Amino acid sequence: MAAQVAAVEGARRRRGAQKRRVFEDPLQLFNNKNDLQTQAGRVNELDHILKARVQQGFFSLDGISRTQLKKELRVEELMVHVQNRMYRTERYLRFFSVLTFFIVFIIALYLQRNPSTAFSVESSFQQALLTSLPKGEEGSQFISSESEIYDWLDAKVFSQVFTNPQCGDGFCERDKGETEGFGRFGCIEDCGRYLKTTQLTIQLEDYVQSTESSLTADETADSYLNLDLTRMKRTLNPGYKFNVYSETMGAYIFENDMPCNDTYIVDVPDGKHTLHFYQTSMLSEQIGVDDMYRQLLTVPSTLPERNSSNDFQYGDKREVLSAQAVLMRQLNEHCFGGNLDLNIKKQRDDFQKCLFRPPADFYLRMLGTYGVKGALTRGNGTKGRVTMVNVPLCGIVPDGVTGLKNNANRQHVIAAGMSCAGTRRSHPTLVEEPRRDEETGLDVSYYAQQKRRVLEDLARYDEDKREREALAERRVGMARRAMGKYAKVLGEPSAARFFPGIEKDIRRRANAPRPDSLVDDDTVDQIRAQIKANGWTFGAEGPGVGRHLMAAVTPGSVLRFGSCTAHADCNATATTDSYLGAGSQQGAFCAATGLCDACATCQWGDTDAIDGTCPSAGCPHGGNMPRCVDATKLMEGFECRDRYDFELWQYHEQGTAVSVGGALPAQMVYVTPFNRLVGPVMVSQRRRPLGECSSIFNPTVQAFANLSGCQEDKAYDGAHYGFNPVFVPTSGIYNGKQDPDRAYVLWERINKTTEVKTTGGTAVQTVPSTPRGFFPHQYDDETHTEKPADLIEASQFDIFKLYVDNRVSETRSKQMLTYLVDGGFIDAHTHTVLVEMVTFNPNLNHFCFLQFTFNWVEGGNIQWDWFFQSVYVDIYSGIRGQAQVVVEVVVIIMLSVNCISQARDVMRSIRTFSFLNHMADVSNWYDIMHLVLMWVAWSYWAYHYNLTSNFKMENSYPILADPAANSRYFATNSTQEKLYLTFKTDVQTAADSLAAYSALTSCCIILFILRLVKGLDFQEQMGLITRTISEAAYELVHFFVLFIIIFMGYVCTGVMLFGHQVKDMSTIDKATIFLYFQIVAFDDTQFWGPFSHASPIWAFYLWVWTYLFVVWLILFNILLAILIEGYVRVKAASAEARGVHQDIVDLFTHWCKSWMLPQKLFMSDQRLAECLERQKAGMPSTSQLRDALVSSLAQDETIHLDGGIEVEELELLSLIRAPDAATVTEREKIIRFVPEKSKNADGEEEEKPSFRDENEQALIADLMTRYGDNPADPDAQEGEVIDHLTTESLVQNLAMFRAQQIAGRQIEKMEWQLERICHEVLPADEATEIKLKAAKPKLPPVKGGVVQCQIVEAAGLPKMDLIRSVDPYVLVFCSDPLSHNTTGAVSYRTDVKPRNRNPVWEEECEIPLVPGANTLTATIFDKDDVTSDDLVGCVHVHLHDLDPGVEVDEWFDVVNPHLDPNRLKDARLHLKVTWMPTLDGVPIVAEQQGFQASYMQQDQVRAPPGLSG
């Protein structure tokens, strides 16, 4: 703190010496100037200067005559003038050579690359491709999500680049893929029809549809059903469809899958084809397992899982069972449903057919009729047909369409039977459960009642018919008789003609059956035929009720009710059962309905037979159908083909390649007009593996973060990922008919764990599921292995590359984009996505490489950037190329000449031992850097030319293996991919080399400009820029140091406040650039909104207004002021200088005269210089003159301080040699105002110290170099001293006069006030005593002594900080009447008491007394570690108020005029002070003789308390 106080005092004295402080406090100025020794030194300095000006000369030349000196000087000055002219001429020549070089170089650059042509190409891409992405002032921007990338690809790439051919516009656009057509292929309207096709007929129908045509079939056939199921209501339908895939076309013949149950005629080209079948409805999700049990008796736990890889799988076991269960349920509802209306003839007919059909027959038929049947045929050249494909139905049972007629069907179901507990249905064809009467045991369900009713109506049919016919005859006879009577009465014989009509109507009405009868004339024969088909034979009559039933179905027999109560009531014969097969015994049994029925209907004995069992004698093969069926066993051995391969070779040799459209030219796909896409649009992705978040150390946070993982900064992740959306039902390109088993191998698919049904129960196994969607570059999609090494691009290893080549249409490109979106192309592993393409403009012969980069920033944004670079391949072609070669050769020659010249200058500097000086010149570094950069640029140009000269490409790059692939959209042809990547790399490398060359040449141009500006620096008018900067360099260096400190402070603060939300302030570099541009062009619209929301509003306002005021308003204008001031000085110095036009005219004139005029009429500068050199060489005193001048002009290097203070070498040596022992007298020797020669006490000159060794001399030389100066102009120095002293004198006089006035008025006022107080307050005797004491003589000035002081404690100190309280410490020193420190560095500082308003120190010290010290000052400071310490207050103890040698123990009030008095009202400091003065080394005490007299004679005045702070 002592150093701080000393620094404050020194600064106060320096401020008093400056001109601008003339009107400061006059008392302070008076005190600063009232130093007699300093004034004496300055008068002595002035005396020396005046003596020097009286002298006639400034130096003398010993040993050289004045005449010789004048001659030498004339030669030297003239030589200098001539050399200056020659120097200016040489500089102009150099300038024009550089300018010529620059112009030729610019011409070469424009010949190498025309920027306007490149702009016309690249700007078209900017307008076409960049409009939908966010753009700003920077080249790279941010987007928020990957959906914006997909939207951009959709709107600006795929939609704009790829197009769908416009068929029907009258033009056959073969370059866009239009060819001769047939069917849905090609464009018949524009290109004509393709004739080499074969017409195929496809007839396919499912089982339901086939029942309609089977009505007309042979009713003796085993498959004859005699039931039209097309009238059946089908709310659920498997939706069987088909399509024909043509390898020749690489697509399906039908654009959409076609439904079955129809006939199709289609044209097909030669080649290999495949007939595909699909089930388009997933019935397994629409029918429950319980319903399947009710229809098929399959136990739910045995149902197989759906194991097909697509939703449209044809023949999946679970789907087959579901389809047959649905069909069985629809059949039940059709035959016996609750909505059945028997009053409707068609419904009644079907009901009766179903009623007498054995339930087992329906059951077995439904198990054997899955899928479709039919044929695919072609003509044979005649009227015949050639079957190409024959398609049968798929059956769970061996021959399902025959039902019970084939015993193998029944045995297959019996083998799959299993025991089951609980109630089950009687058989699968009944809608209603069987219900037995408790008394009779008969089935009283609706099915049984209706069957009994039909049989009863059938038994009464003949008797009812005879009765109706007899009734009709009676009514006809009555009508005939009535008609005869009517004719006689009326006498109208012609009335008989109406009788046939009347008779017909009477018979129609009489023959109508009973309204409640289910048998009529139309259905009786059909019912009888159905009963007969169930196995009844009509042989010899036998006993029992069965005889009456057989008679009922025999026309003309006597009707009797065929009821039974036991199996014995029903006869049995030994004939063959038509259902149970050869060798079986036909018989009858008593059914649960109480009627005799054929054995074929007794398959589930416990519910079909009246006693719960089928008779083994009468029905040996009945009753074996299982109650429950094991679906897994039932489906064993089931196979159903979903594709049929066939070949057509009508117009080509078998096995040859068939091309419908012929050899097509490469498709012309344009990114922008005239800029054709070469190859595909390539989308690449670099991926990072996910690992543990090792940068997080908090264990709980790390555990949470590791749930998702963090991207690891390792090698790229090349593992297969994503999924193929073709097999995902939620995708827009989902194709349920695709089978991943045919397109993918096991390791290309996602594995899933599932439970599967087996004959022994369930088993857990891992099965492949959805295929992966994306594979790295090194993986071959066709061979399902890694590519050969020669087909792998090493730089693309583990990078995922997808291609959309120019053979696809716009529609297909959108599907491929949907593949990317739905397949999860971008996920948590994504690090970078690149979209690249290469275009070619044939009109301008320009390739262009386009690259769009999307980088995933860890903060959450996606940063995008773009790079366009056009490349001209034919560099030296045509007349332009020839001119380019010539100009480039000239540039190379000029560059070589410059290099030789620069090398010569370096060698000259080495020979003259001035190499370091040569390299220290910054301008020489410009030249060297420029030349080196030029050679680097030309090496890049040579490299670029080598690339373009060896450039090769293919006509097309068909990278996709199949542009119309149904599943593997992005499978590539490895060979074509390698060719394209090589081509793309060549273009990209050429583009990069050209971009690097352009950047280098741009730097060369900038260096050219710097060299040109440097070359004009010698010319006064043209060198204003460099001279202005040089003139202001000193101020600029200091300004920029201050500016960088302040500016970077605001930058760092801005990053902390706003960087978390504002992009322009997110990093130091971005914030620096942004705030710099705000200085140059302030725009509040760019930051006011986002900045004000990114921080507290008060912090924002504080930051922005202080920044605007300090940086923008003050510092920026200071910079302008510095430059303007430098410019004004330079402009004033060069006001009378010659202009550049004058120099050029003079140079041109001199050159013309030197060539045109003879030497006797014109002497050039070179000749004049040679003459002067000869004159100079003939003067022997030249070296002596030089030495004399140097010795006369040389001055000792001196450190100059303010006020004319100097420090010489030897004085500095004395100062650093013994700094601690230096006394006041020694300091006067060291620091003086140009003093006289130092003398000792005897009046003799003191011997100055000498250097001890070379090290000490080197040390002093280094210090003098750093801190000293050697003024070259004594007149300027002396003038400055005179001006300074004149100003000091004026300030001194003004300060002394003003101080005397103020002091006099204050003293008079105080005396008057004190006198009045004494008279008004004090008694008369005390007032008289005070006057007597005042009249006593004052103590003479104290010459020495000490002050003993004990700092005890303080109380009531105020708080000095907002957060902390106060950290006090005390600084004690002696001061003069104006509170200026007189003890210098002799002071005492106590310890710091942290956060204590009532500190206790108990510290003691002694302060030495010096002349002028009359006050002990104790200053309390608040310690601050960040800023400077704060002053709390002061305590002044006036020593002359104390008795010598007597200790004073008091509490003193703490005062500080700069603080609020209320804060210091309780502040006090406890001190113990003892004043111990000495006079000539003898201590003085209060009782000493003459002390009072000497005290009264003291002429020093104690400063008032109000002025002492």
What confidence tens digit (pLDDT) does each residue in 202-244 have? Answer: 999 998 888 877 666 556 566 667 788 888 888 888 999 999 9
How confident is the model at residue 435, as a pLDDT? 59
**Band (1497; pLDDT cuts 50, 70, 90):** very low
How confident is the model at residue 1193, as a pLDDT? 43
The stretch 73-88 carries a mean pLDDT of: 75
* Whole-number Å distance between alpha carbons of 226 and 528: 13
What share of the chain has pLDDT > 90, as a percent?
Answer: 12
Lowest mean pLDDT among 136-145, 341-350, 687-696, 893-902: 136-145
1146 contact partners, CB below 8 Å, separation of at least 6? none
The tokens for 22 are 């003339």
Q: Is 1090's pLDDT higher than 50? A: yes
What confidence tens digit (pLDDT) does each residue in 311-330 have? Answer: 778 889 999 999 999 998 88
With both helix axes pointing from N to C terminus, report the angle between 1033-1058 and 1024-1031 in degrees, rounded to the nearest 10: 80
Is the model more confident about 45 or about 638? 638
What confidence tens digit (pLDDT) does each residue in 1271-1295 have? Answer: 444 555 555 556 655 656 665 666 6
The tokens for 884 are 């380019």
How confident is the model at residue 323, as a pLDDT? 92
3-state SS, 425-467, equals: CCCCCCCCCCCECCCCCCECCHHHHHHHHHHHHHHHHHHHHHH
The single-letter DSSP state of residue 412 is H
CA distance readout (Å), 1 to 538, 1347, 1391, 1437: 140, 20, 11, 20
The tokens for 1220 are 């601690």
Q: Is 789's pLDDT higher than 50? A: yes
The tokens for 833 are 């996505």
pTM of the shown model: 0.59
Lowest mean pLDDT among 149-153, 937-941, 1202-1206: 1202-1206
CB 111 within 8 A of CB 1163: no
How confident is the model at residue 1222, as a pLDDT? 38
- Strand-pair category, 761-771 with 779-780: unpaired
Residue the block writes with tokens 């018919």:
465
Residues in the chain: 1509
The tokens for 1332 are 């007597």
CA distance readout (Å), 970 to 164, 317, 781, 803, 962: 20, 32, 9, 6, 8
The stretch 1338-1363 carries a mean pLDDT of: 78
Q: Is 952's pLDDT higher than 80? A: yes
What confidence tens digit (pLDDT) does each residue in 650-681 have? Answer: 989 988 888 887 666 667 888 988 999 998 99
Q: Is 74's pLDDT higher than 60? A: yes
**Band (878; pLDDT cuts 50, 70, 90):** confident
The tokens for 680 are 């595909």
How confident is the model at residue 390, as a pLDDT? 94
The stretch 1458-1482 carries a mean pLDDT of: 84
* Whole-number Å distance between alpha carbons of 167 and 625: 63
How confident is the model at residue 355, as a pLDDT? 72
**Band (199; pLDDT cuts 50, 70, 90):** very high
Q: Is 1163 helix (H, G, I), strand (E, B) or coil?
A: coil
How wide is the angle at C-alpha 283 spanned by C-alphas 277 and 289, nearest 5°? 140
113 contact partners, CB below 8 Å, separation of at least 6? 872, 994, 998
What confidence tens digit (pLDDT) does each residue in 719-758 have? Answer: 899 989 988 888 888 877 777 887 888 888 887 776 666 6
How confident is the model at residue 576, as a pLDDT? 40
How confident is the model at residue 1293, as a pLDDT? 62
What share of the chain has pLDDT > 70, as a percent?
Answer: 68
How confident is the model at residue 371, as a pLDDT? 92
3-state SS, 108-162, equals: HHHHHCCHHHHHHHHHHHHHHHCCCCCCCCCCCEEECCHHHHHHHHHHHHHHHHC
The stretch 636-644 carries a mean pLDDT of: 90
Q: For the chain, what is the mean pLDDT?
A: 75
952 contact partners, CB below 8 Å, separation of at least 6? 983, 986
Cβ count within 10 A of residue 1153: 13
Q: Is 59's pLDDT higher than 50? A: no
Bridge partners (DSSP) of residue 670 are 676
**Band (273; pLDDT cuts 50, 70, 90):** very high
As to burial, measured by CB atoms within 10 angstroms (0-12 exposed, 13-18 middle, 19+ buried), residue 313 is buried
How confident is the model at residue 1470, as a pLDDT? 93
**Band (854; pLDDT cuts 50, 70, 90):** very high
The stretch 938-958 carries a mean pLDDT of: 88
Lowest mean pLDDT among 299-308, 1222-1231, 1470-1479: 1222-1231
